[in-house]
A = this chain, B = another copy of it.
Amino acid sequence: MAGIEKALERQRTLMASDEYQSHMKRALIEAKRAGAFGEVPVGAVIVSPEGKLLAVSGNRTREFKDPTAHAEMVAIRTACEVLSSERLVGCDLYVTLEPCAMCAAAISFARLRRLYYGTADLKGGAVEHGPRFYSQPTCHHAPELYPGLFEQEAADLLRRFFQQRR
Q: Which residues of A contact B (CB under 8 A)?
A: 61-62, 64-68, 73, 76-77, 80-81, 84-87, 100-106, 109-110, 123-126, 129-133, 136-140
Contacts and interface: CB of A to CB of B under 8 A. Distances in A.
B136 A131 contact: yes
Most buried by B among A64, A65, A73, A81: A65
A67 B131 contact: no
Contacts of A129: 138
Contacts of A73: 68
Interface of A: prevailing SS: loop
Contact of A86 (B66, B87, B133): B66
Contacts of A137: 130
A106 B130 CA distance: 15
Contacts of A125: 138
Contact of A102 (B62, B77, B102): B102
Given A67-B80, A133-B131, A126 B138 contact: yes
A91 to B, nearest CB: 12
A77 B87 contact: no
Nearest to A85: B65
Contacts of A106: 67-68, 102
A86 B65 contact: yes
A4 B155 CA distance: 42
B65 A80 contact: yes
Contact of A61 (B81, B86, B138): B86
Contacts of A76: 67-68
A21 to B, nearest CB: 28
